[in-house]
Chains A and B, each alone.
Chain A
Amino acid sequence: MGLDIRIPIGLMFSVIGLIITLFGLFTNSDAEMYAKSLSININLWMGLLMLAFGGLMLFFARKRKVK
């Protein structure tokens, strides 16, 4: 089946990662909101993690294509 699943996975995590990272940046000063997550800006960290994961997936998909 001619679909490299890494591409949709990479794209999806990049999009969601970007949304959550930006949201984390905008809400960074909202101490009340992050009281729940033990005063950690969990949105920012998870957003960055997902961007990295999405990027990695896209990188591997591209690497295979070039080959």
Chain B
Amino acid sequence: MDLKFELGWIDYAIMLVYFVFVLGIGWALKKYMKNASAFLEAGRSMPAWVAGLAFISTNLGALEVMGMTGSGAKYGMLTTHFYWIGAIPAMIFLALFMMPFYYGSKARSVPEYLKLRYDEKTRGLNAILFAVMTILASGISMYALALLMETVLGWNFHLSLILSAVIVLGYTYLGGLSSAIYNEVLQFFIIVIGLLPIVFLSLKQVGGWSGLEHSLGSIVSDKGYAADTFTTTWKYTGNAKANPLGVEWYGIAAGLGFVLSFGYWCTNFLIVQRAMAAESINAARKTPLIGAIPKMFIPFLIIVPGIVALVLMNDPSTGFSIMVNGKANYDLTIIMLLKQYLPMGVLGLGITALLASFMSGMAGNVSAFNTVWTYDIYQSYIRPATGDKESDEKHYLKVGRLATIFGVVVSIAAAYLAGLFGNIMDFLQTIFSMINAPLFAVIFLGMFWKRTTGHAAFTGLLAGFLIALLHHGLTVPEGATTLVKGGWIGVIHTYPVEMAQNFWTAIFAFTTSTVVTVILSMLTKKVKTDEELVGLVYSMTPRTSVVVKQWYNRPVVLASIVGIICIVLSIIFW
């Protein structure tokens, strides 16, 4: 079937207006970029609502939008576990318990927090891994987008790759982190508004939510599940075989709700950086909570249309298909929905929304990379500060700018690499889950137990990673065809689905890391004095009660509201 579709002049006009504004914001911020801290830390000046929307927008990259709509078609409403249990508790924890130390310690990055709390080697390990992984991730999302544009819009692969990279480079080079953050807010709104018509039209066609439930019944029964499996979340998680995720409720709660989500939301500098750029400690704590509000409702924007797509696929009269060469490509779901419902005009808006999601993800990667590179690698190992603050700031500004260009160029190279090795994306996601879970264990112990030592943390990080690697080498998901999926040492256990394997890899890594760090902390000498740990460790930091006048500005109040909405949503779609 023909996947291609044509855009009209008006669609290109809309994209052009968007590009002009994105670059214009970078241009308007150029005059404020006088030193490294303005460029790399946004001068710690962002209002909470701006940082909060940027926080969620960075996470709403192209891979997320494409992947989650596809997952809607594959797993139905069970996909919302990635948004409710799999994000909200971690975001609340980050806001209430971790931000005071990330922000209050004056660390400029997550690796730098590790340096302040532990030692140089722990920082070095984390900084180097983070820098490499971030750039690879950015390259892979570029590749995915360019491929999509080529398959569907018939755009030249190289041209769309270079063009989107140049625009992201343009505005991050001009305005640094501030420009990335401000643009993420703009991109957030364009993503929501651009995808809104498909939510409305697709639901209207199937007769609303109850019509959707009705149409899904026979399709889902044919797959061997209960008729309402795809429109419920927890109902069929008592037995792994009864739901398409292939995981029981406790696997979801422990794997996704705890290890994976805390590993991602609480330690990933890409995300935490947005909160660190907030104007005050109170704003920094509110950032993840303000981001959590749209996060809870994004499923209705991207997962629900994916579920409708499943109905359309099973009704030949609609002509809807995501088949490429006889194989279903779920990543195409979102763009085929745009094609299905949108006439010229709003179609351009929808494509612009996809471009915006791609750019917010990539700019996030680039702006986190240049900060870690400049402060945690260059300043630590290549050229330490001289003490002349003014000339240092100028020097590191220059380095930060060069790192931005370098990051984009290497991303482009990584995109071509991704084209050569089709499995690189699976590979990278696997590695990420191996790194993040131990990192969360180490940061968590560091923040809440003053006895934790640097040697223990460093060994704990490595041990967790090695165990994850070992677990991956010894297990496979059912039907795996390549060694990237696991089992490259030998197979001692087969998981029903890949998701289950990922969950358990992370759980093993986290547990090992925690146990090793705790035992070694007790065996090694505590190097840091109590005074040095003030502001870094919970028990050593005096509670400063910031008086916040308005009740709605208090983090605890906001957190309770977020928690209640999340619980209510889970009950409605139980």
Contacts and interface: CB of A to CB of B under 8 A. Distances in A.
Interface of A: 1-3, 5, 8-9, 11-13, 15-16, 19-20, 23-24, 27, 33-34, 36-38, 40, 42-43, 46-47, 49-50, 53
Contact of A3 (B28, B344, B346): B28
Interface string B189-202: 11001001100010
B342 A37 contact: yes
B345 A8 contact: no
Given A5-B50, A12-B186, A20 B349 contact: yes
B573 interface: no
Given A11-B21, A16-B349, A37-B197, A2 B342 contact: no
B185 A9 contact: yes
Nearest to B192: A53
B341 A46 contact: no
B106 interface: no
Contacts, number: 98
Contact of A19 (B10, B182, B343): B10
B502 to A, nearest CB: 37
Given A5-B50, A37-B201, A38-B205, A50 B345 contact: no
A2 B32 contact: yes
Contact of A23 (B10, B46, B205, B340): B10
B13 A37 contact: no
B43 interface: yes
Given A12-B21, A19-B10, A46 B28 contact: no
B525 interface: no
A7 B534 CA distance: 41
A42 B344 CA distance: 10
B351 to A, nearest CB: 13
A51 to B, nearest CB: 12
A33 B349 contact: no
B25 interface: yes
A46 B342 CA distance: 11
Given A1-B46, A37-B197, A46-B346, 4 more contacts: A8-B182, A15-B17, A16-B17, A20-B14
Given A1-B45, A5-B50, A42-B197, A23 B345 contact: yes
Tell me which of A23, A34, A40, A49 has the highest count of chain B C-beta atoms within 10 A of its own C-beta.
Answer: A23
A52 to B, nearest CB: 11
B25 A1 contact: no
CB-based closest 10 A-B pairs: A43-B345, A12-B21, A1-B178, A5-B182, A23-B345, A33-B343, A46-B346, A20-B345, A36-B343, A9-B186
Contacts of B28: 3, 8
7 contacts: A1-B38, A8-B28, A20-B10, A36-B340, A37-B343, A42-B197, A46-B345
Given A20-B14, A34-B343, A5 B349 contact: no
B383 interface: no
